[in-house]
């Protein structure tokens, strides 16, 4: 895969991001991505977390059968698919947060009182497919993983980024952040 990573990511979101988030939420995938990145930026996060917030659900857009898998009761593993795809261009600190953002939801449901009740209906449905709340031993193991803290921050922005008709900066506002997070070119 060649070409400018910024343009590729923008094109993916502009071409496929018009679908509703999870097929059921009232915001599109593009709106959700832009809201997530805006929340990260407003919180003072570094470029790696802003980019992770922007691209965390790209796996939904890469799968040709995301909604079909859910209808069959299968987890499409969008977090792994997206992280693997993005690892061609982006540093591990970006892809690790993306890879772990579903595990962070499972962790928060298991460890934070009231968290599950704040999840959107689509997140509740996907949580079931993703394995539900972590048992205590898995929650402890998750928390000790490198990148867990970043994934928890990403998860919180993900949960909040479903506001209908919210005006946010467009994809082009993240060009510099994306450039800051690219892997060095091979020599």
| 133-159 residue pLDDT tens | 999 999 999 999 989 999 999 999 999
Among residues 48, 66, 147, which one has the least CA distance to residue 103? 147
Average pLDDT score, the chain:
90
186 domain residue, yes or no:
no
72 domain residue, yes or no:
yes
The domain spanning residue 171 has which CATH number?
A: 1.10.3210.10
CA distance 161 to 169: 13
Give me the helices (H) in the chain, please: 5-16, 29-42, 47-55, 58-62, 66-71, 78-86, 92-111, 115-118, 121-129, 136-143, 148-160, 175-180
185 domain residue, yes or no:
no
Q: What percent of the chain has pLDDT over 70?
A: 89
Q: How many domains does the chain have?
A: 1
pTM given for the model? 0.92
70 domain residue, yes or no:
yes
114 domain residue, yes or no:
yes
pLDDT, residue 70, reads: 59
Domain hosting 102: range is: 5-180
54 domain residue, yes or no:
yes
Q: Who has greater pLDDT, 126 or 114? A: 114
187 domain residue, yes or no:
no
Q: Is the pLDDT of residue 160 over 80?
A: yes
pLDDT, residue 3, reads: 72
Predicted confidence (pLDDT) per residue in 51-92, tens digit? 999 999 999 888 765 555 555 666 667 899 999 999 999 999
115 domain residue, yes or no:
yes
Q: Who has greater pLDDT, 60 or 93? A: 93
- Produce one character per residue of 83-115: b if its CB has 16 or more CB atoms within 10 Å, e if not: bebbbebbbebbbbbbbbbbbbbbbbbbbeeeb
Q: Is the pLDDT of residue 38 over 60?
A: yes
């Amino acid at each position: 895969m060649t070409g400018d990573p910024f343009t590729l990511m923008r094109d993916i979101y502009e071409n496929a991001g018009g679908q509703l988030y999870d097929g059921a939420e009232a915001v599109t995938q593009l709106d959700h991505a832009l809201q997530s990145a805006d929340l990260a930026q407003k919180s003072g996060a570094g470029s790696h977390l802003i980019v992770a917030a922007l691209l965390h659900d790209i796996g939904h857009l890469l799968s040709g059968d995301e909604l079909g898998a859910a209808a069959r009761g299968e987890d499409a593993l969008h977090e792994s698919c997206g992280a693997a795809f993005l690892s061609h261009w982006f540093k591990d600190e970006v892809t690790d947060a993306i890879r772990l953002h579903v595990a962070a939801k499972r962790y928060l449901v298991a460890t934070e009182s009231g968290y599950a009740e704040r999840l959107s209906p689509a997140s509740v449905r996907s949580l079931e497919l993703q394995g539900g709340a972590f048992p205590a031993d898995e929650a402890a193991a998750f928390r000790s993983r490198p990148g867990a803290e970043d994934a928890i921050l990403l998860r919180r922005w993900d949960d909040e980024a479903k506001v209908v008709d919210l005006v946010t900066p467009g994809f082009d506002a993240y060009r510099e952040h994306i450039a800051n997070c690219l892997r060095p070119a091979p020599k």
